[in-house]
Amino acid sequence: MERRNYDMKFEVRSNEEGNQEVVGYAAIFNSDSVKIGGKFVEIIEERAFDEVINDDVVALFNHDQSKVLGRTSAGTLKLSLDKSGLQYRYIDPQTSYSKDLLISIDRGDIKGSSFGFAEVTDKWYRRDDGVVVRSISKIGKLGDVSPVTSPAYETTSVFKRYNEFIDTEQREEKTEETKTEIPEEIKEEIKEIKTPNRNVRELQLSIGLA
């Protein structure tokens, strides 16, 4: 399971029943993440969550399975998609840790959200500014959404994918460098040969002069 963090302010509202509701964004669309491991940025595409928005997802504090804040199947956590990203809202369960969390949010000590995910469809490329980008178009599994104290970045499978991209990029560059560029004047001389022998004929064919 991978986890990504976004630094976003929360809203704490009182709903019609008088309960406190915490609202935040677990992911922001089409926006560069911080540089992960100092190597690449991620972009979450708008349709990435389409197939998991109705999954059974939990809200946790700091991804801690023992600190449940809400669950979609119980109706205590609601997920929605808008132009900005993946929004979540949960009703405060009024546990000791959730009350502490509300105090920390109000003080500004907790101001980040994160989500756990897996089974992604992505593509890697290098932008004109030289930055390597991982663009995620589909998320196959959404595990949790979480208010978090600090970013939590996995350093296993995603960095393996990054290294594979760099290796491919370097091989392609090396192939380009080793290609022999025949000067135009030599091409003309070869082209002018009226009755080429077999080797010259093959050369003409290979560079498109015959």
Q: Look at residue 167 and tell me if it is in a domain.
A: no
Name which residue leads in pLDDT, 33 or 192.
Answer: 33
User: 53 and 93: one domain?
Assistant: yes
User: 145 and 199: one domain?
Assistant: no
User: 34 and 123: one domain?
Assistant: yes
User: 189 and 132: one domain?
Assistant: no
DSSP string computed for the chain:
-EEEEEE---EEEE-TTS-EEEEEEEEEBT---PPBTTTEEEEE-TTTTTTTTTS--EEESTT-TTSEEEEGGGTSEEEEE-SSEEEEEEE----HHHHHHHHHHHHTS--EEEEEEEEEEEEEEE-TTS-EEEEEEEEEEEEEEEEESS-----SHHHHHHHHHHHHHHHHHHHHHHSPPPPHHHHHHHHH-SS--HHHHHHHHHTT--
pLDDT for residue 155 is more than 50: no
Of the ranges 2-6, 59-63, 150-154, 185-189, the best mean pLDDT one = 59-63
pLDDT of residue 114: 86
User: 126 and 192: one domain?
Assistant: no
User: 14 and 49: one domain?
Assistant: yes
User: 75 and 119: one domain?
Assistant: yes
**Domain end position, chosen among 112, 134, 153:** 153
Q: Look at residue 32 and tell me if it is in a domain.
A: yes
pLDDT for residue 198 is more than 70: no
Q: Look at residue 164 and tell me if it is in a domain.
A: no
User: 127 and 197: one domain?
Assistant: no
Q: Look at residue 173 and tell me if it is in a domain.
A: no
Q: What is the pTM of this model?
A: 0.72
Of the ranges 7-11, 13-17, 194-198, the best mean pLDDT one = 13-17
Q: Look at residue 170 and tell me if it is in a domain.
A: no
pLDDT in tens, 115-134: 989 899 999 999 999 999 99
Residue range 41-46: average pLDDT?
A: 93
Q: Look at residue 161 and tell me if it is in a domain.
A: no
Q: Look at residue 120 and tell me if it is in a domain.
A: yes
Q: Look at residue 147 and tell me if it is in a domain.
A: yes
User: 118 and 37: one domain?
Assistant: yes
pLDDT in tens, 166-180: 888 888 877 766 665
For the chain, what is the domain count?
2
Domain that holds residue 105: 2-153
Q: Kindly state the percentage of the chain with pLDDT values over 70.
A: 75
User: 111 and 37: one domain?
Assistant: yes
